[in-house]
Amino acid sequence: MDRLPTDQLLALDRRHVWHPYAAMPNTGPLFAVRSAQGVYLELETGERLVDGMSSWWTCIHGYNHPRLNQAAQKQMGCMSHVMFGGLTHQPAVQLAQKLVTITPEPLQQVFFCDSGSVAVEVAMKLAIQYWHNRGKPQKQHFLTLRNGYHGDTFAAMAVCDPVNGMHHLFRHSLVEQYFADAPQISFEGGWDEADLASFETILQRHHGEIAAAIFEPVVQGAGGMRFYHPEYVRRTRELCDRYNILLILDEIATGFGRTGKLFACEYAGISPDILCVGKALTGGFMSLAATLTTEHISETFAQGEAGVFMHGPTFMGNPLACAVALENLNLLESYNWVTRIRAIETQLKQELAPCRDLPAVKDVRVLGAIGVVELHEPVDMAVIQPQFVQHGVWLRPFGRLIYTMPPYIIEPEQLRQITQAIYTVLNQE
């Protein structure tokens, strides 16, 4: 395929390609990537940018990792895809076994999905059909948290924050759910039972119609990059058990080590009834997600009205994605990733701290390999994104947040380039 001149490439893109959270034609900043290697993105114009986003938190081992490339090439020599209805294959079975091994007990069953949003949809359908199987079809609703984010499909949108989230335009088309106040106590703050009051009050009044609670443990991601107290997660687990509802944890953003634990729920020492994972599952190689649940839940489906779980994506259990995901998890286990994350956390805390003194900055917070600088006012993307590119880094701010989730393989000097760019750009505001 002949390469297009950069100007022509960008012009055609703006004319025909619809990007996420963008208008048509796209008038925002746009940069064409020629290749990617390690932690670097190389643009068509020749610049090399340190990627501070891990391509929306997926490429935990950077780009073009030889082990992931080799796993893909080996699998392509066998088959890239085969339908999962009535057929199975080794990559899916081995990946399911690996996920069961590394996730908290008693999660045992794995449903493969195409994306994180679909994993949430599957989790919600599992919960509703489970209660139908148990003779309680009235349990159709969900309890979730304000400031949460769970994806852009319709059921997922319904449990995203309806006011401060990205989906208020669709609120009259969505099933109304129950929203508890967002946790207010920070990750390292002093615990106060009052933080649970809203959650418990809703359960007291409506547990008879609630199928499950669903939220992101410890870290609320795209809804505000908020880090909250692990005791909240532990206590909500107890409340779900007391009021006989299921607990769904969305670890699509936090799973596979990003917070310093393999899964964020480990900070609370609990396990959900249903777990959603995605994003980093394949190391950013291609889209794959999974919804895990327990034998207690899955065993009800054969006896239910339908006799089966009513969901089946066309590309479910794609062999190529499963093979790469399995190698990605093996790669994660091959080195001391905990030490890597702690080193990134320490450096982010040290080097982002000076941002607190800048007039534009409201807060600075760090957890694991997540660094967040919250501003008083929303950023102007048309201005700030090109500035970061000029400093040789790729960051994708949104709203009032400038944040970084770098690849785990990033070196200190590369991470320093990101933190210095953040400080320098904000110091000009």
> Which residues participate in catalysis according to the annotation?
21, 149, 250, 279
Q: Are 396 and 359 in contact (CB under 8 A)?
A: no
CB atoms under 10 Å from CB of 212, counted, come to: 25
For CA atoms 157, 162, 167, 172, the dihedral sign is positive
Closest CA to 414 of 396, 394, 390, 386: 394
Q: Are 393 and 425 in contact (CB under 8 A)?
A: no
Cα–Cα distance for residue pair 117/114, rounded to 1 Å: 8
Cα–Cα distance for residue pair 337/409, rounded to 1 Å: 9
Q: Are strands 40-43 and 33-37 parallel, antiparallel or unpaired?
A: antiparallel
Residues 6+ apart with CB under 8 A from 166: 21, 149, 152, 160, 222
Q: Are 395 and 404 in contact (CB under 8 A)?
A: yes
Burial class for 48, CB neighbours closer than 10 Å (0-12, 13-18, 19+): middle
Amino acid identity of residue 29, one-letter, is P
Cα–Cα distance for residue pair 202/205, rounded to 1 Å: 5
Residues 6+ apart with CB under 8 A from 199: 143, 145, 180, 181, 213, 236, 239
Amino acid identity of residue 304, one-letter, is G
CB atoms under 10 Å from CB of 372, counted, come to: 21
Q: Are strands 219-220 and 226-227 parallel, antiparallel or unpaired?
A: antiparallel
Strand ranges for 105-168 from DSSP E: 107-113, 141-145
Cα–Cα distance for residue pair 355/401, rounded to 1 Å: 13
User: What is the signed CA dihedral for 248, 250, 254, 259, rounded to 10 degrees?
Assistant: -40
Q: Are 309 and 281 in contact (CB under 8 A)?
A: no
Looking only at Cα atoms, what is the longest distance across the chain?
64
CB atoms under 10 Å from CB of 376, counted, come to: 11
Q: Are 219 and 401 in contact (CB under 8 A)?
A: no
CB atoms under 10 Å from CB of 331, counted, come to: 17
